[in-house]
Amino acid sequence: MSKHNGLIDKINRAFLLQGALISVAALLSVYFASIVLEEILIKQAIKQEAEYFWRNYKQDQTFPLPRTLNLTGYFNVDELPQSVQARMPLEPGFYEYEDDELVLLTSIEQGETVYLLYNRGQVDTLAAYYGLFPLALVLIVLYLSLWITYRFSKSTISPVIWLARQLDKVDIASHDISPLRLENFPYDVDDDIRVLTDAIANLGERLEAFIAREHNFTRDASHELRSPLTVMSIAVDMLSADDSLSESAQTTLARIRRAIADMEELTEAFLLLARESDQALGIELVSVNDVVANEIDRAQLLNNKQLNIKFLQRHLLSVPASEKVLAILFGNLIRNALLYTDQGSVEISIEQNKVVVKDSGKGISQKHVDDIFKPYFRGDNTMANGHGVGLTIVKRLSDRFHWPIRIDSKPGVGTVIDVQFPESVSSLIESAAISRT
């Protein structure tokens, strides 16, 4: 979890956003209310004053012009303030003078003109006062309710976050789940937290039992599977030393020897993948060039096809890893290339930060490229040999140790697989091609 992407941070951002939206909405409401007050109420009141005056003036020529604290009527232009006279409108209607906070209505009836001058300064002040005071009161109430809600939400989420952090401290290997004990909680424990804690503790016990069964299996399998393979390998070697065996019998023994070697490799790979920790693998800086060369020699001993194997070393490549892991990885890649290539060549090249295995085999269609790493998948060209798990092991190793793998295959052309090693150390050397048949 990133530093600023936890539940509390999300709640904080949600409440801050809510508070900001409330403030914007309140300010916009006051702003539009002031516009309504000025444009509709004030101007409408001035217009009604003008209509009222003309209606009475027509009946009584001595009817006085409006003269109040904020509204004054004039017949004579010269009586208007100088600032208004300097910018007298030519047409009847409303005109505003922002600098003086004045609104002028020019009204004409039966050839006579009356000027109603309204001082909006006090009204604006009162509108602002009576608008801002309720706004401040509303915002205080809203912000207080938001703060109370925020504190309640935080108090609800905090125990869950604390529990998650404590769960991260639990060391299953030491069988210690004391960090999850309820008496260690710095918060009041409610029923929901108690149920959640008990569920996590039960899950930990089940995981512990599962890991124990896995450890027992890998320990027993390491002995029980290797022992019969060793016996079979010794028996095949003893039979091979018998000169009286026919050529067909020797061929059969060679096939048995290859099958035993494959089973030994599979056993090593499966036991390695079953391990929970990588610490027992012995991580060190391993020369990829040497590992690949050894696997090529080993594959040739087990391969009965007349294929040209090219080993191109363009870089000296070293990877911080287990030599056994790299041997299983490259061994499966090379044997897979030999298995699915009937004629032509297999090329293994060591490039900068990657190893490329290229064959001239039958290839695989594009629709099956994504399925090639699935267990027991063999594509369109089903072979009698092989177990269908070689590339699956390669993919699992690449995922486990973060070595990206890419495959490009075309039917009738061949397959190219490259494995990249981001943390490798490489140095350029003069290309050296080693061809083996």
pLDDT digits (tens, 9 = 90+) for 299-336: 877 666 777 888 998 899 999 988 888 888 898 899 88
pLDDT at position 217, please? 67
CA distances from 100 to 33, 120, 121, 239, 246 (A): 22, 9, 8, 118, 122
Cα separation, 39 vs 84, whole angstroms: 20
pLDDT at position 318, please? 94
Task: Pick the most confident of 16-30, 55-69, 415-429.
Answer: 415-429
| pLDDT higher than 80, residue 51 | yes
* Residue pair 16/150 in contact by the 8 Å Cβ criterion: no
* Domain 282-436 bears CATH identifier 1.20.120.450: no
Which residues are within 8 A (CB) of 408 and not within 5 positions of it... i.e. 6 or more apart?
369, 415, 416, 417
For range 402-407, the mean pLDDT: 91
* Residue pair 312/350 in contact by the 8 Å Cβ criterion: yes
Local confidence band at 355 (pLDDT 50, 70, 90 cut-offs): very high
Instruction: Determine whether 244 is exposed, middle or buried from the number of CB atoms within 10 Å of its CB (0-12, 13-18, 19+).
Output: exposed
pTM more than 0.75: no
The pLDDT > 90 percentage for the chain reads 10
| pLDDT higher than 70, residue 5 | no
More confident site: 149 or 316: 316
Q: What is the pLDDT of residues 235-281, one digit of tens each?
A: 888 888 887 888 888 878 877 887 777 677 667 766 766 665 555 55
Q: How do strand 308-321 and strand 345-351 relate by DSSP bridges? A: parallel
Local confidence band at 385 (pLDDT 50, 70, 90 cut-offs): low
pLDDT at position 347, please? 92
Q: What is the pLDDT of residues 157-210, one digit of tens each?
A: 767 777 777 676 666 555 555 555 655 665 565 666 677 777 777 776 777 777
Q: Indicate the average pLDDT of the chain.
A: 77
Cα separation, 208 vs 43, whole angstroms: 81
Tell me, what DSSP letter sits at residue 386? S
pLDDT at position 112, please? 86
Q: How do strand 102-109 and strand 308-321 relate by DSSP bridges? A: unpaired
More confident site: 12 or 409: 409
Task: Pick the most confident of 71-75, 92-96, 136-140, 384-388.
Answer: 71-75
Inter-helix orientation angle 323-339/288-302, to 10°: 40
For range 229-233, the mean pLDDT: 80
User: Could you state, in order of their start, the residue ranges of all structural domains in the chain?
Assistant: 7-126, 282-436
Cα separation, 90 vs 303, whole angstroms: 107
More confident site: 347 or 158: 347
Instruction: Determine whether 162 is exposed, middle or buried from the number of CB atoms within 10 Å of its CB (0-12, 13-18, 19+).
Output: middle
* Identity of the amino acid at 431: S
DSSP line for 159-170? HHHHHHHHHHH-
Which residues are within 8 A (CB) of 409 and not within 5 positions of it... i.e. 6 or more apart?
363, 364, 366, 369, 372, 415, 416
Cα separation, 107 vs 117, whole angstroms: 11
Q: What is the pLDDT of residues 290-300, one digit of tens each?
A: 999 988 887 87
* Residue pair 225/267 in contact by the 8 Å Cβ criterion: yes
Cα separation, 263 vs 344, whole angstroms: 27
Lowest mean pLDDT among 113-122, 271-280, 343-352: 271-280
pLDDT at position 287, please? 93
pLDDT at position 1, please? 44
